[in-house]
Amino acid sequence: MYRVRREGPEVLQLEAEARCAGVFDLAWHPSSSSTPLLAMALSDGTLRLTGQDLVTIASSTPQPDSDALACCVDWRRDSQPPDTARLLASYSDGDAARLQATPAGLTTLERWSAHSLEAWAVAADPWQPALCFTGGDDCALRAWDERAPASPAWADRREHGAGVCCILPSTHTEHLVATGSYDEAARAWDLRWPGRPLLLSKARGHLLLAACMQHGFQVLRLRPGSGEWAVEERYAHQQTLAYGADWQRRGGDQAGPFAVATASFYDNALHVWQPATQA
């Protein structure tokens, strides 16, 4: 774990380090600023919770007789750490799961078959507590009502030309969900019209940070009414496979500039930079 040191020239300063199985995904609890809580999805099929010191607080147990990898993890925003926090996870055997953090560890509440191939992505809906989304290598995007996960609330298998590898519900606009796919297209979905990706005509100023594999890191903007994303900015200083990206307002100031962290694959590089584009 690194911290951006701002005294003098900005540099990345190593704060904590931990050894574990391969890490496929990381997610900070959205309301854990005072007591940071980090969830990890690991290649041994388990989830792990740590603090900002990366010391393990809780972990799940592997699924019996399964070599599935834990591919993605997300938090339920209406749950509070550490003892009542709830998580979602997806796995390489196509399963998805709901988990509960308890003093004894991470308990799987329910695990169900979500996709016929690898379930690369899972995301909680920040507006509807019982709704979540999964995306898989079977090109399917599915929404699930956690109260009745025997079958999806709705599903789409026509729009994506390859596996669905990323799902991002908007925390600013209800009904708006973005998806990324191995077919190299980003899509915007209006959940009021789930049968097809529909751009909100009233959407304004929505920016999306994307790690686009061979096409690098890009900042995209929803173009209202056109059904398209416009490329606002490309980051030219990382030349290998663009594999992961995230951003936040500096210092938590909602009017302040963004800080972006991007990770590339073959050179094991992490860059922190400030985009010229501002919402």
Q: What is the predicted pLDDT for the residue at 202? A: 43
In one-letter notation, the amino acid at residue 255 is A
Domain contains 222? yes
Overall average pLDDT of the 243-250 stretch: 86
How do strand 47-50 and strand 131-136 relate by DSSP bridges? Answer: unpaired
Domain contains 238? yes
In one-letter notation, the amino acid at residue 268 is N
Domain contains 104? no
Domain contains 278? yes
Q: Residue 203's pLDDT band (boundaries 50, 70, 90)?
A: very low
Check: CB of residue 249 under 8 Å from CB of residue 207: no
In one-letter notation, the amino acid at residue 199 is L
Domain total of the chain: 1
Domain contains 167? no
Domain contains 229? yes
Q: Residue 48's pLDDT band (boundaries 50, 70, 90)?
A: very high
Instruction: Give the structural domain span for 272.
Output: 206-279
Convert the pLDDT of each residue in 98-143 to its tens digit: 999 887 789 999 999 999 999 999 999 999 989 999 999 999 999 9
Helix/strand/coil for 31: coil
Cβ atoms within 10 Å of 259's Cβ, excluding its own: 17
Q: What is the predicted pLDDT for the residue at 279? A: 47
CA 200 to chain centroid, in Å, comes to 22
Convert the pLDDT of each residue in 14-39 to its tens digit: 889 999 999 999 999 887 566 788 99
Q: Residue 1's pLDDT band (boundaries 50, 70, 90)?
A: confident
Q: How far apart are CA 26 and CA 35, in angstroms?
A: 16
Domain contains 215? yes
Q: What is the predicted pLDDT for the residue at 255? A: 66
Overall average pLDDT of the 77-101 stretch: 87
Domain contains 77? no
In one-letter notation, the amino acid at residue 157 is R
